[in-house]
Structure 1
Amino acid sequence: MKTPKRPQELEQAIPFLLTRAGSRMGNSFAKALKAFGLNLSEWRVCASLLYVPHQTVSELSVHASSDISALSRIVDRLESQELVRRERSSTDGRSIRIALTIKGEALALRIVPVAKRHEAVLLRDFAPSDVQVLRSMLLKLYENAGALEDLPQQPDDPL
């Protein structure tokens, strides 16, 4: 049996650090979103639709980092606020796409400067080249995380 890691080792683990930083950033931005009547999950959907309009639920699930069942509830809430609408696909009548309404797009565009201001504060002590490297590394971490789905479920199983 392996010896448990010391707490300082945990605090240096990349997943721990990412989760810790992400939680702090998310909580701060969630407070700012309250003034707009949205929570963080709803904002992710609106922001995703602002940059990639007319997505299927499956596409939106990936872009908004939400599972499909939770996403359906989020879309229902946004639809009841008249911020999004469901549309039949013009190419496949069985497929439904989600789009921002004019009201939803206007709201999302009002929030973008707030999001950019939050990002600017987070990155204020980083050199532009470090920001590029950080973005690249985060994208690579996301890509590599796909392999975690294939890992054995038991911690003692060999890789």
Structure 2
Amino acid sequence: MVKPAEPAAAPALENAATLAADFYRADAWVPEDSLGMLFKRVMQSIALQADRRLAEHGLTHVQWVALMKLKTGHGCTVAGLARDLQTDAGAMTRSLDRLEAKGMVARVRSATDRRVVNLALTEEGERLAALVVPVLAEVFNNHLAGFSPDEWQLLLSLLRRMVRNGDALREADGADAAA
């Protein structure tokens, strides 16, 4: 899988409310054209296809996503992983208990703060996490069938812009809450 070049960053939203687009209107709402509905359908399809391929390795969706987060250095505590996966700490703890029982994850107390329990992939966890990336590459490529390389780059660029807009909106909301 080729990593695309990062496009030049678009300017951050100065005032999200005044720069908001006017593409959607309540009086002309078409659910099938909503970004939320389309994103959700694409994500569900990607997850389903990846789940089917990874089930033969005994991995559920929550498990392979957690393994990938740990492999890439994100969410190295239960709380961090729960936050990254947008789930509660109790559910994350139960999922990690299953991963630990399967010998994929180990809990390691922090040497500097005994209250902190870090998560680490075991050798088996590393082996299984390495299986996820080729599966995701295949699933993503199947979902991009018919796209040209330029269309793929454009899609990535547009999605990154939406992420930046969302980040700016969250920052603005945080600034409003602090005031």
Bucket of the pairwise TM-score, normalised by the shorter protein: 0.7 to 0.9
TM-score under structure 1 normalisation?
A: 0.76
Alpha carbons 1:47, 1:108 under 8 Å: kept: yes
| Aligned partner of residue 80 in structure 2, secondary structure | helix
- Whichever residue aligns with residue 55 of structure 2, its letter is K
1:119-138 → structure 2 map (5 Å cutoff):
119-138=140-159
Q: Which of 55-64 and 108-117 deviates more?
A: 55-64
| Aligned partner of residue 97 in structure 1, secondary structure | strand
Answer yes or no: is 1:51 the counterpart of 2:72: yes
Alpha carbons 1:53, 1:99 under 8 Å: kept: no
Q: Give the C-alpha shift of residue 32 in structure 1.
A: 1.1
| Aligned equivalent of 2:99 | 78
Percent of aligned pairs with the same amino acid: 30
1:76-155 → structure 2 map (5 Å cutoff):
76-142=97-163, 144=166, 147=170
| Aligned equivalent of 1:27 | 48
Q: Give the C-alpha shift of residue 19 in structure 1.
A: 0.9
Question: Residues 15-60 of structure 1, C-alpha deviation per residue, up to 9 Å, x if partnerless?
Answer: 0111111112211211111101011111100011111167122222
Q: Which of 20-29 and 73-82 deviates more?
A: 20-29
Greater RCO (Cα-Cα under 8 Å, separation 6 or more): 2
The alpha-carbon distance between structure 1 residues 76 and 5, as it changes in their structure 2 partners (threshold 3 A), is farther
In structure 2, C-alpha distance between the alignment counterparts of 1:76 and 1:140, rounded to whole Å: 37
In structure 1, C-alpha distance between the alignment counterparts of 2:160 and 2:112, rounded to whole Å: 31
* Long gaps (5+) in structure 1: 151-159
The alpha-carbon distance between structure 1 residues 54 and 142, as it changes in their structure 2 partners (threshold 3 A), is closer
Residue-pair matches, total: 145
In structure 2, C-alpha distance between the alignment counterparts of 1:81 and 1:28, rounded to whole Å: 23
* Long gaps (5+) in structure 2: 1-25, 174-179
In structure 2, C-alpha distance between the alignment counterparts of 1:62 and 1:142, rounded to whole Å: 17
Q: Give the C-alpha shift of residue 139 in structure 1.
A: 4.4
Q: Which of 39-48 and 85-94 deviates more?
A: 85-94
